[in-house]
Structure 1
Amino acid sequence: MEIYKTQSTIAKKSNWLLSMVVTLLVTIGVLFLFQGLSLFLVVPLFELSLEDVLQVATGQSTNPNGRMALLIIQGLGAGFAFIVATLVIAKLVDKADMGFKQHFANFKFIPFLIMIFVIFGGMLFNTLLIDLNGNFQFPSFLAEFEQMLQQKEEELMRLTKYLTDFDSVQELLMGVLVIGIMAGLGEELFFRGLLQPKLHSYTGNMHLGVWLTAFIFSAIHMQFYGFLPRMLLGAIFGYLYCYSGSLIYPILAHIFNNTFTVVLVYLGKLGKIDFNIDEVDEASWPVALGGLVLLVICLKLFSEKSKPNLTHEKLE
């Protein structure tokens, strides 16, 4: 069960629409604020011109400091901004107790080991979802819409490749910090720590709360051709939290997933392994289905071994 205790009027079920609107507005405001602050910092820090900033933002910069600047923008304007938005909404708007002591008290070593196999099973099954989602074709009458999505996908992939095309170990470590740790911590605090317990309370259904949050989590990344695998990951993170009563599990799982991908990209660039982030290979059905079996079995085992020691009243 999620931990999010509040008696605030705005957070009550009867005010769900107002609560969601305020959550959205505060989050957008904080994200814009920290995006602006990050730009304010990197321009003088790396001596970037306005043209450099625009090229960095689109993944087309040839400036030797461009990638490091973009990583700082991502770290402050996304990862750290989600942390701040979560705390502002929880403490100042909902006046809620997120129960951080309970999160640590409910964390156990054996379920943590099981969690690794849960994520590994999810990764294997996701190869099938990546294949299906990446090769999805719209009917002919939606050709223009499909072309628009493909163009957006190409822009995002160009930015992703630029962001992860590390030229040094220092850039790799910065990538792990920003893409792995900061993104994992910030997004899990916001989506699983704040949004999921709200949606669980407002819908009255744990599973609906998990999957609605996972849907929103995937949608905000604005990447249609990666929507399904990202939503599955979001749902896995959500169930890890619900079954354990500890945000530590989904935070570590998210960090592990992102960091694993970042390291694979770097090893692929060095030629140590055959890995290309923009290629969608045909999935192996036996491997994917084996991953699904591993995911289901280990998630069930996780739910049995990670029952929370301490609980908290749910959002009213």
Structure 2
Amino acid sequence: MEIYKTQSTIAKKSNWLLSMVVTLLVTIGVLFLLQGLSLILVIPLFQVSITEIIQVMTGQSTAPNGRMAILFIQGIGTGFGFIAATLLIAKLVDKADMGFKQHFDNFKFIPFLIMIFVILGGMMFNTLLIDLNGNFQFPSFMAEFEKMLQQKEAELMALTIYLTDFDSIQELMMGVLVIGVLAGLGEELFFRGLLQPKLHQYTGNMHVGVWLTAFIFSAIHMQFYGFLPRMLLGAIFGYLYCYSGSLIYPIIAHIFNNTFTIVLVYLGKLGKIDFDIEEVDQASWPVALGGLALLVISLKLFSEKNKPNLTHEKLE
């Protein structure tokens, strides 16, 4: 069960629509504000202009400090943005206690070891979802819509490749900090720590809360051809939280997943391993099905080994 203790009027089940609208508006406002602040700071810190930043993001420039500048903007505007939005909404809007002490108290070593197998199983099964989603074809009458999605996907993939095409250990460490640590921490605090408990209470069903949050989590990344594998990861993170009563598990799992991918990309660039982030035809049915079995078994074992100490107060 999630930990989110509040009796605020706006957080009541009867006010679910107002609560969701306020959550959305506050989050957009915080992200927009911190994105703007990071754009101002990036000019003197990395000696780049706003024009160069825009050109880098559209693949029209290779400014020397461009990659570090974009990572800085992403770290402040998105990583810290989700952290700030979560704390602001919880404290000032919902007047809620997120129970951080309980999150640490509910974190145990044996379930942590089991969690590793949960994530490995999810990553193995996701190779199949990556292939299926990446090779999805729309019917002919939706050709223009498909073309638009493919164009957007190509633009985002180009930016992803640029951001992870590290030229030094310093850039790699910056990538791990921003894409791994800050993204994992910020997104888990917001989606699993704040949004999922709300949706769980408003729908009255834990599984609906988990999967609806995972759907929104995947949708905000605006990548149709990576939607299914990202949604599965979001659901796994959600169940790790529900079964343990500790956000520490999904935070670590999210950081591990992102960092592992970054390291694979870097080792692939160095020629140490054969890895291409753009490749979608890498799935093996035996590996994928074995991963699914590992995921289900280890997640069940994870739930059985956890006895969270909860003082959750339901949203009325």
Q: TM-score, normalised by structure 2?
A: 0.99
> Match for residue 209 of structure 2?
209
Instruction: Identify the residue that residue 261 of structure 2 maps to in structure 1.
Output: 261
Partner Cα separation in structure 2 for residue 231 and residue 42 of structure 1: 32
Match of 2:245 in 1: 245
Q: Which moved more, 1:39-48 or 1:225-234?
A: 39-48
Following superposition, the deviation at residue 49 of structure 1 comes to: 2.1
- How far apart are the structure 2 equivalents of 1:82 and 1:57? 21
Given that 1:35 and 1:78 are in contact with CA atoms closer than 8 Å, whether structure 2 keeps it comes out as: yes
The corresponding residue for 2:195 is 195
Distance 2:243 2:147 in 1: 41
| Distance in 2 of aligned mates of 1:120 and 1:29 | 36
Summarize the alignment of residues 17-32 of structure 1 with structure 2, pairs less than 5 Å apart: 17-32=17-32
**Equivalent residue for 2:137?**
137
2:166 partner SS: coil
Q: 8 Å contact 1:60–1:162 — kept in the other structure?
A: no
Q: 1:225 maps to which residue?
A: 225
Partner of 2:110: 110
Alignment check: 8 A CA contact 1:105 1:310 kept? no
Q: What secondary structure does 1:181 align onto? A: helix
Q: Quick check: 1:151 aligned with 2:151?
A: yes
Partner of 1:74: 74
| Partner Cα distance (2:194, 2:215) in 1 | 15
**Per-residue displacement from partner, 1:78-97 (whole Å, max 9, x unpaired)?**
01000000000000000000
Distance in 2 (CA, whole Å) between partners of 1:175 and 1:60 is: 21
Which letter maps to 2:298? C
Please give the alpha-carbon distance, in whole angstroms, between the structure 1 residues aligned to 2:281 and 2:138.
20
Counterpart position of 1:170: 170
| 1: CA distance, partners of 2:65 / 2:178 | 16
CA apart distance, 1:130: 0.2
Q: Distance in 1 between matches of 2:58 and 2:251?
A: 29
Counterpart for residue 49 of structure 2:
49
Unaligned runs of 5+ in 2: none
For 1:104 and 1:211, the matched residues in 2 are separated by 25
In structure 1, how many angstroms separate the alpha carbons of the residues matched to 2:287 and 2:59? Answer: 34
| Alpha-carbon distance in structure 1 between the residues aligned to 2:180 and 2:60 | 23
The residue that corresponds to 1:273 in the other structure is 273
C-alpha separation in 1, matches of 2:270 and 2:55? 25
Match of 2:33 in 1: 33
The Cα shift of 1:240 comes to 0.2
The aligned amino acid for 1:233 is: L
Give the distance between the partners of 2:237 and 2:177, measured in 1 at CA. Answer: 20
8 Å CA contact 1:153, 1:224 repeated in 2: yes
Q: Which residue of structure 1 aligns with residue 311 of structure 2?
A: 311
- Match in the other structure for 1:83: 83
Q: Deviations over 1:59-96 (max 9, x none)?
A: 44311100000000000000100000000000000000
1:266 and 1:229 mapped to 2: Cα distance? 21
Q: Give aligned-pair identity as a percent.
A: 87
Q: Give the deviation of 1:282 after TM superposition.
A: 4.1
Structure 2 CA distance for aligned equivalents of residues 285 and 208 of structure 1? 28
Q: Once the 2 structures are TM-superposed, how far is the Cα of residue 137 of structure 1 from its aligned partner? A: 0.1
For residues 90-142 of structure 1, what are the alpha-carbon distances to aligned partners after superposition, in whole Å with 9 as ceiling and x for unaligned? 00000000000000000000000100100000000000000000000000000
Q: CA deviation at 1:56?
A: 2.3
Partner Cα separation in structure 1 for residue 265 and residue 226 of structure 2: 17
Aligned residues: 316
Secondary structure at the counterpart of residue 6 of structure 2: coil
Q: Deviations over 1:220-269 (max 9, x none)?
A: 00000000000000000000000000000000000000000000000000
TM-score (norm 1): 0.99
Aligned to 2:284: 284
Query: Do 1:31 and 1:81's aligned partners in 2 also have CA atoms closer than 8 Å?
Result: yes
Aligned partners of 1:3 and 1:314 also within 8 Å: no
Structure 1 residue 180 corresponds to structure 2 residue 217: no
Q: Match of 1:4?
A: 4
Q: Distance in 1 between matches of 2:206 and 2:216?
A: 16
Query: Contact conserved, 1:131 with 1:282, CA < 8 A, in 2?
Result: yes
The letter for the 1-side match of 2:146 is E
Contact kept in structure 1, 2:3 and 2:310, CA below 8 Å? no
